[in-house]
Amino acid sequence: MNKIILSINGMTCSACSNGLEKYLSKQEGINSVSVNLIMANALIEYDEKKLNQEKIEQFIKEAGFKSLGIYNEDKIENKKSYEKIKFIIYTILAVILMYISMGDMVGLPIIDFFNMHINPINYTIILLILTFSFIIYGIDILKNGYKNLIHKTPNMDTLVSLGVISSLLYSLYNMILILKGNHDLVENLYFESSAIIIYFIKLGRYIDGISKDKTKEAIQKLVQITPKNAVIKINGEEKEVTIDEIEKGNIVISKPGEKIAVDGEIIKGRAHLDESFITGESKPVNKTIGEKVIAGSINYNGYIEYKAEKIGKESTISEIVKLVLEATSTKAPIARIADKVSGYFVPAVILIAIITFFVYIILGEDIGRAINTFVTILVVACPCSLGLATPLAIVVSEGVCANNGILVKKSEILENAQKIDTIIFDKTGTLTYGKLKISEIINYSSLEKEKIMQVVGSIEKKSTHPIGKAFVEYLKEKKIEILNVENFNDISGLGITGIIDNEEYIIGNSKILVKYNIENKYTNDEEKLAKQR
């Protein structure tokens, strides 16, 4: 069995995703399907002997949707600025439309030129123009609605489309009679209903889009852990390339402060690497020749050359992103229940609306009231909250977890998490913040503790060693002034030295004491502290 994640275009509600999921599940060769409405993708497990991507995409087309190819996390786009501007414009138009159509009813002053009683033709035409602008705004809703109705997978858009078109056609019929001179029918225009229905559906989707973007941003942050460019060595010369240009076997160079571009093995040099995004360990790992490096790790203080072994989709970080995407594409039991209910809900609502319409006609009610009731049932009963809220909550939760370094392999784990009453951590006996911190200060000198930290932190600020950053952060937190340091010297593998106010200070491990012939009176304490790690 093979797995594939495809981008899907045209899904707008849970009935869409549920209908597509059902249709694909019926096809021979497809073992399992999970359609993700929020991320607009489908995780499909299929028999590669019977099907290929092209055939699966044909099934998606037959179901009334469109495949945009392999889901690419690198190309997740947020069109927030464009959508926000468009939404603001239509919000202003909606206010103008409601003012012209409803202002007179609530006692607001209306310009005579637009007044329905004084200039009914002008009133009718301006309503038509404003309404058609909203029809253009919501053309995607109308197209999806009728497309899914034709493919026998009616969804929320189908309900909205039936309601909007019904109101529009009835209003157009009355408009023709008004233009012919029957001005009394101006009260029977429902143009504003068609427009405002579309506006409120778009409002809901705009709000949902903000939540979806949070999850997309979390995935983008995972992707952006690796650098976009790297330096490779070709025939002894350095060449800067994009990460996509790196091939297996290339010699890649990493300098202090840079990120590891691809997974590989060190062939030259030594460095401390921060791998906390993978391991959670705050202490940078000392890496040397023959040891593996992971893409996205940060090189703190050394020059290394490493041979590229895993590139692109094979890298560790790409595997993590893939697991996150697969997790967001799985469904928790509660989400499956919501999908199942919404799948029956839409056809039932359409049937109830049609029956209500004919009952009103049979009882002798005005056709305008019958249509108004028909539209109300269709629009008010839209199962947005039922089918969208549950998967949205799950996907956003998974995005937040990913952003905080927590990998959720299946959505149902989140649902089961509420049953947890005990957590056991197996992580070398510790839980960390992901960065080194000063935990305890043992002072054998006559100096004040803060003075010692001020001296050490000031000298460490000139060092590139990762442990030195912890001392510098301590000074920042305590708002301790950093002193001027002269004659700074970094002694590789031992420590550092520097002069402050004409006093020389030596900072390092026990080996530096041997180098400077300094007696170490506290070896027993040192051994005890080392065992406490």
Nearest Cα residue to 297 out of 226, 349, 207, 366: 226
* Secondary structure in 3-state letters for 178-204: HHCCCHHHHHHCCHHHHHHHHHHHHHH
Nearest Cα residue to 395 out of 211, 210, 203, 201: 211
In one letter, which amino acid is 268?
Answer: K
Residue 287 dihedral angles phi and psi, to the nearest 5°: -115, 140
How does 394-408 read in b/e, with b if 16+ C-beta sit within 10 Å?
Answer: bbbbbbebbeeeeeb
The Cα–Cα gap between 266 and 105 comes to: 78
The Cα–Cα gap between 469 and 276 comes to: 15
Q: Count the helices and strands in the chain (H runs, E runs).
A: 17, 16
Total residue count of the chain as it appears in this document: 533
| 198 alpha carbon, distance to own chain's centre | 26
Q: Which residue has the tokens 């490096």?
A: 293
> Torsion angle, CA of 106/111/116/121, rounded to 10 degrees?
-160
In one letter, which amino acid is 506?
Answer: I
The Cα–Cα gap between 417 and 430 comes to: 22
CB atoms within 10 A of CB 281: 15
Nearest Cα residue to 144 out of 172, 129, 130, 164: 164
Per-residue DSSP letters for 206-269? HHHHHHHHHHHHHHHHHHTTS-SEEEEEETTEEEEEEGGG--TT-EEEE-TTPBP-SEEEEEEE
Answer for the pair 459, 500: CB distance below 8 angstroms, yes or no. yes
Write the CA distances from 494 to 114, 147, 506, 513, 514, integer angstroms: 86, 72, 10, 9, 10
Does residue 483 sit in helix, strand or coil?
A: coil
Active-site residue list: 426
Structure tokens at 229: 């460019």
